[in-house]
Structure 1
Amino acid sequence: MKSRTTSSLTIDAFDARAVDIDTVELDQLYTLSIGVGWPHRPEDWQFLRDTGHGIVVHDEIGRVLGSAMWFPHGVDFATVGMVITSPRLQALGTAQWLMKRILSASGGRNLRLNATHAARKLYLSLGFRRERTVFQRQAEAQRFGDMPRPSEGGELRELGQKDLPAIAQLDARAFGASRLDLIAALLRQSAGVGLYRRGRLEAFALCRPFGRGHVVGPVVASADEDAIVVAAPHVAAHEGQFLRIDTHLADGEFCSFLARCGLAFFDTVTTMSLGGEFRDPNGRSGKIPVTYALASQALG
């Protein structure tokens, strides 16, 4: 059961109140995120509330001034996201106050988050360390040529609930922690493509509505060739539509494929961690599965 906490703080001579994120209206959360240029729809906020925990700060008349969320995966690990305040309130310490609450609530778990440029200094002050850059690539998807074919007897399949155990297991090997509940929730609202060889799932890509259009992720594979094979059907299905992929990869065949699809670099954030070590996907060997595309910046 989610805990519901309430406390107060003083911001710039007025009183503010912190409450559980489930107690405020979705429209208030949408107004908060759109105010800082984030594309989350009310439906995206609801998905995050369904899969995580969080708090918001609001003023005396109920306006939401800030938010922070965390997403547990077992007793040892969690991701942190949706840490939003206005620049003015961040300068007044509101984001730090929110983060300290999240650190307390997450119970000593190893943590990972993706920091905007403006927030990196805050996270460094809390003990997080820089890991890798996340490249946000997005645009209207373009035709990329012939559909790539699986090699070595691979077979592409449409994924469904029966594939959940195999998807979650492969994701855990790449991500470094089991995310069974999250993967199950993502699968319920995503189209999925999997690459099977000799009856074993070796790569997959999910695609779901998000923000201005659709997001492809997570994408997990052991080689660029396989990542392209499972991502390509999603790109083709959304030709001429807004599509987004967040990836740690800076170069290689997968990145070249994204460029051919018209998915240009839009922005970057920095993956940071507190506690456990982050697995660098740029060191891919072709044998160990890695995360080619994130589920989202908040979820990792």
Structure 2
Amino acid sequence: MDDPSVESRAVDVFEMRLADIGTVDVAQLVALSVSVRWPHRAEDWRLMLSLGRGVVALDEIGRICGSAMWFPYADSFAAVGMVITSPRLQALGTGHWLMTRVIAACGERSLRLNATHAAYRLYRSLDFKREKTLYQCQGRANGAAAAAVDRSDVRQLSERDLSLLIEADAHAYGAARAELITALFRQSTGTGLLRSGRLAAFALCRRFGRGHVIGPVVAASDADAIAVVAPHVAAHARQFLRIDTHSEGDAFRAFIASAGLALYDTVTTMSLRRGVNDPGPRAADTPMSYAVVSQAFG
């Protein structure tokens, strides 16, 4: 894309300019996310930088005052995330400026993001429409809950399963994310259920933030989703564990709660030009998304 550093704007008493997110130090990005109490480590930022694009707003002395990223999974679709504005500038239009640049850079792509309560009005003003609620559940894992789950058909995934995992994720998410899933797989522990040569369910678990996060989780039923998640709960008993899910009031959510992952917060999944990547109605035995990769990746 064109060099965004040629664009500048006066915000309150600050003269800021936009720059490509790949040109700044990761430590500055970590400091930005810490300023809004997001748990991202340097390693988490590096993963996102390797898979996405983005812009940052810099003040006169090079301090990062805001960021926004997008992950172009297809020519017709991208996920938007890591839209952060320094607390001192949150009411001064910086977020709108960054998002306008992201939308322009993404062209005619359909966009999806997860909006915090603070950013919801911003996205509505940009014509994003509400889809559903995403529930952030976290806490110290209760291994006893996992011990009660039948995991006899669950096995650890290996490199030979990667193509099946990519295919299952594409069907569940509505867009192929081969590069993302491959990168996640190589830093995660994966569990899966295979039936008749097809990956009926899977869950990945990796280091993230304060501990570990489970996601994505893809399954055709609550029972299968619970079966592939339970080994990760057991493996991280008494450790900090997180999962972000759209599931509401079902057996899967009940299991998550019993596993010690209490509801911590909610965000709103929203979309612009919705429909391009919407998988639509599914047959009863078709895998669906039970947990997202992260709020940024979707």
TM-score class normalised by the smaller sequence: over 0.9
Which residue in 2 is equivalent to 1:13? Answer: 13
Which residue in 2 is equivalent to 1:274? Answer: 272
Change (3 A) 1:131 1:262: same
Aligned pairs for 1:139-288 within 5 A: 139-143=139-143, 144=145, 146-149=147-150, 155-277=153-275, 286-288=284-286
Aligned pairs for 1:109-148 within 5 A: 109-143=109-143, 144=145, 146-148=147-149
Matched, 1:82 2:82: yes
Gaps of 5+ in 1: none
CA contact (8 A) 1:160 1:187 kept: no
CA contact (8 A) 1:222 1:284 kept: no
Equivalents in 2 of 1:168, 1:273: separation in Å?
23
Equivalents in 2 of 1:4, 1:37: separation in Å?
30
Q: Letter of the 2:235 partner, please give it.
A: A
Q: Letter of the 2:192 partner, please give it.
A: G
Gaps of 5+ in 2: none
TM-superposed deviation, 1:8: 1.6
Equivalents in 1 of 2:283, 2:267: separation in Å?
25
Residue 195 of structure 1 aligns to a residue whose secondary structure is: strand
Residue 4 of structure 2 aligns to a residue whose secondary structure is: coil
Equivalents in 1 of 2:54, 2:3: separation in Å?
9
CA contact (8 A) 1:90 1:96 kept: no
TM-superposed deviation, 1:161: 2.3
TM-score (norm 2): 0.94
- Structure 1 range deviating more: 285-294 or 189-198: 285-294
- Structure 1 range deviating more: 10-19 or 183-192: 10-19
CA contact (8 A) 2:171 2:287 kept: yes
Identical-residue share of aligned pairs (%): 55
Equivalents in 2 of 1:187, 1:196: separation in Å?
17
TM-superposed deviation, 1:13: 2.8
Q: Letter of the 2:153 partner, please give it.
A: E
Equivalents in 2 of 1:108, 1:243: separation in Å?
37
What CA deviation, in whole Å up to 9, does each residue of 1:257-285 have, x standing for no partner?
1011011000000000011237599x876
Equivalents in 1 of 2:207, 2:137: separation in Å?
16
TM-score (norm 1): 0.94
Q: Letter of the 2:35 partner, please give it.
A: G
Residue 208 of structure 1 aligns to a residue whose secondary structure is: strand
